[in-house]
Amino acid sequence: MTFLKKIPLFAFLFLAAPLFGQLPTADRVARHIRYLASDRMQGRGTGSRENARAAAYIVRQFRKAGLTPRGTDGFYQPFTARVRRVVVADSLRPASNVVGFLDNGAAGTIVIGAHYDHLGLGRQGSSLDPKPEGQIHNGADDNASGVAGLIELARYYARNDRKEPYNFLFIAFGAEELGLLGSRHFLNHPTVPTASLNFMVCMDMIGRYNPERGVGIGGYGTSDAWPEVFKGVTAGVKFFTDRAGNGGSDNAAFYAKGIPVLFFHTGGHPDYHKPGDDPDKIDARAEAEILRLEIRLVDRALDLPKMTFTPVR
Ligand SMILES: [Zn+2]
């Protein structure tokens, strides 16, 4: 206190700005979601021009945050998505992950991921609408919300003026809706050795916070270190943990490779995989709180040695 008293308030605020100024805000979260889930993005179906446009947006945001490209073609890691259940006849589509790296010169790396593809115009299967063909499946919650979180965490860790004892790999996965194709492709062709990966944080549908339910955090049982990480952590949103880490989204691909995971999810709703999953139904303020909780948890894990994986039975 005596130390602070000697510094004028404006100087303190100026000094503190780099530390606190880049925390995720509801405004920025809402802006990413409005862009990615607008009608002109046509539901970001795998292989579409709009899916590529969404990837380009993520590249711009990663570059702006100051990440280094870590795909196989700059930030991009292209692959071919095989479509098995389709309404129309094509079966091979171009797809890509978007991979950015925050190099802290550390031996270990933390992965933060979210898929950016969705169901497009309802012709690639898995829509729950009775007549999906031709309808834009905007996918605001699934998963523009997770991508907004990914971009905001990248921005936070790249600009927080701290060199963490782990590197960060930020991955926007393609073709998740076709069966975790992007995350599986990454793990079969890793651009950072998988043995150096500490744990993976996955965000899929974190935009429809329900205060009754709270945000679910899966993967609690995937390492004995998680209870230590969560100990005493509080948040501006209600949350609960679930031991399982092998379902729901791209975290399942990392779990299958023996990497500890956390999976953030605000729960199902009547618009799930339907054209009504729109940006105006997103609670961006709650999402920003969820992201701040993620930062708190990741920051606690930074003080611990590389985690050991535990299979969940
Ligand atoms: Zn999803």
| 175 Cα: distance to centroid of ligand 1 (angstroms) | 10
| 128 Cα: distance to centroid of ligand 1 (angstroms) | 14
| 146 Cα: distance to centroid of ligand 1 (angstroms) | 8
* 91 or 207, higher pLDDT: 207
Quick check: 236 and 289 in contact, CB under 8 A?
yes
| 203 Cα: distance to centroid of ligand 1 (angstroms) | 9
The answer to whether residue 279 scores a pLDDT higher than 90 is yes
pLDDT, residue 1, reads: 43
| 124 Cα: distance to centroid of ligand 1 (angstroms) | 14
| 256 Cα: distance to centroid of ligand 1 (angstroms) | 18
| 104 Cα: distance to centroid of ligand 1 (angstroms) | 30
Angstrom CA distances, 24 to 100, 107, 140, 160, 300, stand at 18, 27, 18, 12, 18
The answer to whether residue 19 scores a pLDDT higher than 80 is no
The answer to whether residue 4 scores a pLDDT higher than 80 is no
pLDDT, residue 90, reads: 63
pLDDT, residue 11, reads: 52
The answer to whether residue 5 scores a pLDDT higher than 50 is no
Which residue segments constitute the domains of the chain, with CATH numbers given? 31-302 (3.40.630.10)
User: How many Cβ atoms sit within 10 Å of the Cβ of residue 278?
Assistant: 18
pLDDT above 90 coverage of the chain, percent: 88
Q: Return the minimum-mean-pLDDT range out of 4-8, 161-165, 175-179.
A: 4-8
| 1 Cα: distance to centroid of ligand 1 (angstroms) | 47
pLDDT, residue 83, reads: 82
Mean pLDDT, residues 106-120: 98
| 262 Cα: distance to centroid of ligand 1 (angstroms) | 15
| 249 Cα: distance to centroid of ligand 1 (angstroms) | 6
The answer to whether residue 14 scores a pLDDT higher than 60 is no
| 233 Cα: distance to centroid of ligand 1 (angstroms) | 27
Note if the bond before 188 is cis, omega within 30 degrees.
Answer: no
The answer to whether residue 37 scores a pLDDT higher than 90 is yes
Q: What is the pLDDT of residues 176-204, one digit of tens each?
A: 999 999 999 999 999 999 999 999 999 99
Residues near 31 by beta carbon (within 8 Å), at least 6 away in sequence: none
* 14 or 109, higher pLDDT: 109
Given pLDDT bands bounded at 50, 70 and 90, which one contains residue 53?
Answer: very high
Mean pLDDT, residues 90-103: 93
| 11 Cα: distance to centroid of ligand 1 (angstroms) | 44
Given pLDDT bands bounded at 50, 70 and 90, which one contains residue 20?
Answer: low
Mean pLDDT, residues 281-292: 98
| 7 Cα: distance to centroid of ligand 1 (angstroms) | 48
Q: What is the pLDDT of residues 235-276, one digit of tens each?
A: 999 999 999 999 999 999 999 999 999 999 999 999 999 999
Q: Which residue has the tokens 């570059």?
A: 63
Q: Which residue has the tokens 């004995």?
A: 224
Q: Return the minimum-mean-pLDDT range out of 9-13, 87-91, 217-221.
A: 9-13
Where does 70-152 show beta strands of DSSP type E? 76-82, 92-102, 109-115
| 125 Cα: distance to centroid of ligand 1 (angstroms) | 14
- Structure tokens that stand for 16 in this block: 């503190």
The answer to whether residue 156 scores a pLDDT higher than 80 is yes
| 107 Cα: distance to centroid of ligand 1 (angstroms) | 31
| 234 Cα: distance to centroid of ligand 1 (angstroms) | 26
| 142 Cα: distance to centroid of ligand 1 (angstroms) | 4
pTM of the model: 0.92
| 206 Cα: distance to centroid of ligand 1 (angstroms) | 10
